[in-house]
Amino acid sequence: MSESNLIKPHGSGVLMPLLLSGQEKVDELKKAATLKKVVMSSRETGDLIMLGIGGFTPLKGFMGKDDWKSVCEEMKMTDGTFWPIPITLSNDEPIEAGMEICLISGETEEIMGTMKVTESYQIDKTFECEKVFATADNEHPGVKMVTAQKAWNIAGPVKVLSESYFPKEFEGIYQRPAESRKLFAEKGWRTIAALQLRNPMHRSHEYLAKIAIEVSDGLYIHQLVGKLKPGDIPADVRVKCINTLVKNYFNEDKVLMGGYPLDMRYAGPREGLLHGVFRQNFGCSHMIIGRDHAGVGDYYGPFDAQDAYHNLWEGALECKMLPIDWTFWDYGQGGMASMKTSPEKNKDQRLFLSGTKLRKLLSEGKLDEIPPEFSRPEVLEILKEYYASLEEKDKVEVKLHGHATGKAEVK
């Protein structure tokens, strides 16, 4: 099947990757070494790579002040293109418009790209946080990212020169939109549901994934391989868990896996919408939105992300939502169910599954308290091995939030 049968990239008929190659890359790298250096945070580096591979089509670079403000307030750029979260770059000082700069990863010290500065501007960080995260509480990990930004934002089009360590470290998982689209076309898929993952798949994830497969041509398990907050399970362990689960419990012909290089922002509803934007660029027609999508703590209601999708204006986003209700193990039925399928008489026989709750039990060594319905045994073994390898200093207290609690009266 031709790729023309897939959903079009967001805001454009074609992907717009900004990653250079060949002699053009060689020449730009040589020039970059002579330019003023701007060091990027991990989040900014991930955003640059997404610009490079076309994941952020149709953006051409980091946003200027008018686009920043419009995205914060109205979730669209000044040209009307839907965009839910600002993509910005910060610096200690303003840089003169017209100057070319070299963009450096603060993590690896590698030259990542160049940018021609169009403007420098200062922002009200509290305003951005309240609009994007619906809170200015500095305990929120996304708010911390914004408040840690430097004093000035600098804007302009970019040329991307590296994908950092992602292609090598996550070989076989890390993908560019052009690659996922090619694979979908080769499989003859038209409707593809994307499953966003930042945790290993527990039984609720597995259940909603299989629901999606039933109503789509295929499932794209799209894992975040960028940075997470302390206490979350690292990407390499998660990849191993998911590979094991898919191999043992899925029809592998109906599943493709990929990884993308962003840091998690934990922006709840707004991040759920951003997930839809770049999944459309990767070729997905649908985005699975379940309970507490992209949330953290008790900052968002369990279905705020679904509400955000429902409230979009016509034509904002072509990648449609696949909403799935609260899912759990129903002891009365002897299997997975949701609020839509579990009878009221079973309300006291529901085990609510949560990655946060599972991490807490594992981190505290309470292995005997993990119900077998939480996770497949093969996955649990991998997680137990990971937590057993942690030294005491590396352990982070996992706090339960309102959506991570749940109990069942039957064991």
Residues classed as catalytic: 198-199
Please name the helix (run of DSSP H) or strand (run of DSSP E) that holds residue 291, with its range, or none: none
Q: Where are the alpha helices (DSSP H) in 177-324?
A: 177-187, 203-215, 235-249, 269-282, 304-310
The string over 131-142, giving b where at least 16 C-beta atoms fall within 10 Å of a residue's C-beta and e elsewhere, is bbbbbbeeebbb
Q: Which of 129, 95, 103, 119 is nearest to 46 (CA)?
A: 103
Residue type, 267: A
Cis peptide before 58 (omega within 30 of 0): yes
Phi, psi of 167 (to 5 degrees): -60, -35
Instruction: Give the single-character DSSP code of 8.
Output: P
Query: What distance in Å separates the CA atoms of residue 331 and residue 337, rounded to the nearest whole number?
Result: 10
Which residue in this structure is represented by tokens 């305003």? 127
Q: Which of 406, 407, 1 is nearest to 188 (CA)?
A: 1
Asked if 338 and 327 touch (Cβ cutoff 8 Å), the reply is yes
Number of residues that this document lists for the chain: 411
User: In the beta sheet, which residues pair with residue 323?
Assistant: 289
For the chain, the C-alpha Rg in angstroms (whole number) is 21
Strands (E), 319-399: 320-323, 327-330, 335-338, 350-352
